[in-house]
């Protein structure tokens, strides 16, 4: 049987028996000296109160810190020249401005950059956790693809990240910190000149490792910082959150974050989507699309993007295109067709280009925008569905053994 066809009964049975959601192996353990990155203004004020800053001064100090952290992007308190030396020393004694550490950088032939970012593991003897963050430069924009988890809660069969375990959720500081690291590497802070005279990072997409809506609060808090007009200042209309369909948190996203929404759809029949996106067994297509119809603020000017990966012989027929148009009727939508990016061990293949064009033409003629996403960063495994960190390489048994050794030494 051709590998590009739908699963055999045995494969389908394996998919059906697979857990819908993975359990995190670990939870975040804060360092003794915490970073201020990722805290809201009220949380910053609370931290300042803990170190004895009187209430009458806290609002001013928070404004100063917010500006230095998110407008200037300074990496250390000593750089905050508008704050007294005594206050800077006090901050240095109790806090850091740490963001994720760049463990490796790769630059694709098309200009795409991928950073492997190292995070605290919460246990000194363990391998540090790692996530990937990707910058995609284009003529009219620069898009940063940000991760929300180490690994992923879900098990989407075509996605490389979905093959690894869920290690833990990222904190708000680790999510916002990815944007800050990218600005560091690109020298893209507001007080610095760039080659094109404007900002290099203009758009943010929560499409990296992880399912953002299974880490809702941290993602929300981070994106509110990223979109803050007095800080990083990326418009909410230039931030897109992509979900595989965690229905209860879709409306919350519109109400509490207010960013653009993208849905990883990939199939028009429940039986196929159950295989490609097993979460569909919990939140089937009809329920997912109703949540999209109810999404606050959606309109022709703020359309929901439906992502559809093109898999040869699986979901790319003209009948699939017809059903897709029928399903989305009444939803302000655009359909983003994504040529499948192969990764080692996958059994899927990318649809033939001729078939992708026929599929796109049918959708366009039905009145929907149907751009075909240009594959970027394939040579460095930075393209859609290819992100995968090294954090999963220690097994649970290995982690337990290391902890046991740490307790006996």
| Choice among 26, 130, 132, 307 that is catalytic | 132
Give me the torsion for CA of 48, 49, 53, 55, rounded to 10°: 120
Candidates 239, 241, 145, 234; CA nearest to 198 is: 234
Sequence-separated (6 or more) residues with CB below 8 Å from residue 364: 370
d(CA 243, CA 55) in angstroms, rounded, equals 41
Taking the CA of residue 267 as centre, how many other CA atoms within 13 Å lie in the half-sphere pointing to its CB?
A: 25
| Choice among 130, 156, 384, 392 that is catalytic | 384
Q: Is 132 a known active-site residue?
A: yes
Give phi and psi for 401, each to the nearest 5.
-65, -40
Candidates 384, 393, 383, 344; CA nearest to 167 is: 393
Taking the CA of residue 111 as centre, how many other CA atoms within 13 Å lie in the half-sphere pointing to its CB?
A: 10
Chain-centre distance for alpha carbon 301: 23
Q: Is 255 a known active-site residue?
A: no
Catalytic site positions: 132, 384
């Amino acid at each position: 049987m051709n590998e590009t066809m739908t699963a055999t009964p045995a494969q389908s049975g394996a998919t059906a028996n697979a857990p819908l959601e993975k359990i995190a192996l670990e939870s975040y353990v804060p360092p003794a000296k915490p970073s201020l990155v990722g805290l809201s203004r009220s949380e910053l004020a609370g931290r300042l109160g803990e170190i004895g800053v009187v209430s009458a001064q806290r609002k001013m100090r928070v404004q100063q810190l917010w500006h230095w952290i998110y407008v200037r992007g300074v990496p250390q308190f000593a750089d905050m020249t508008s704050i007294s030396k005594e206050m800077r020393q006090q901050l240095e004694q109790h806090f850091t401005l740490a963001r994720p550490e760049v463990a490796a950088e790769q630059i694709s032939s098309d200009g795409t950059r991928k950073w492997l970012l190292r995070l605290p593991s919460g246990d000194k003897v363990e391998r540090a956790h790692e996530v990937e963050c990707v910058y995609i430069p284009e003529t009219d924009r620069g898009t940063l693809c940000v991760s929300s988890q180490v690994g992923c809660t879900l098990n989407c069969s075509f996605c490389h990240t979905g093959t690894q375990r869920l290690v833990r959720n990222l904190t708000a500081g680790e999510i916002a910190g990815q944007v800050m690291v990218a600005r560091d590497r690109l020298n893209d802070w507001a007080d610095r000149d760039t080659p094109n005279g404007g900002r290099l990072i203009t758009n943010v997409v929560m499409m990296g490792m992880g399912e953002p809506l299974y880490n809702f609060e941290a993602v929300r808090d981070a994106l509110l910082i990223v979109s803050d007009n007095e800080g990083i200042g990326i418009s909410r209309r230039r931030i897109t959150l992509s979900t595989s369909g965690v229905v209860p948190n879709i409306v919350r996203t519109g109400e509490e974050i207010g960013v653009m929404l993208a849905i990883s759809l990939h199939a028009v029949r429940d039986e196929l989507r159950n295989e490609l996106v097993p979460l569909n067994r919990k939140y089937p297509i009809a329920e997912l699309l109703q949540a999209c119809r109810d999404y606050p603020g959606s309109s022709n000017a703020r359309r929901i993007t439906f992502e559809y990966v093109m898999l040869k012989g699986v979901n790319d027929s003209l009948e699939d295109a017809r059903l897709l148009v029928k399903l989305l009727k009444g939803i302000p939508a655009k359909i983003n067709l994504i040529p499948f990016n192969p990764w080692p061990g996958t059994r899927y293949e990318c649809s033939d280009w001729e078939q992708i064009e026929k599929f796109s033409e049918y959708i366009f003629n039905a009145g929907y925008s149907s751009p075909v996403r240009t594959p970027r960063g394939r040579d460095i495994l930075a393209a859609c569905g290819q992100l995968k960190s090294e954090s999963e390489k220690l097994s649970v048994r290995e982690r337990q053994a290391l902890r046991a050794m740490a307790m006996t030494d």
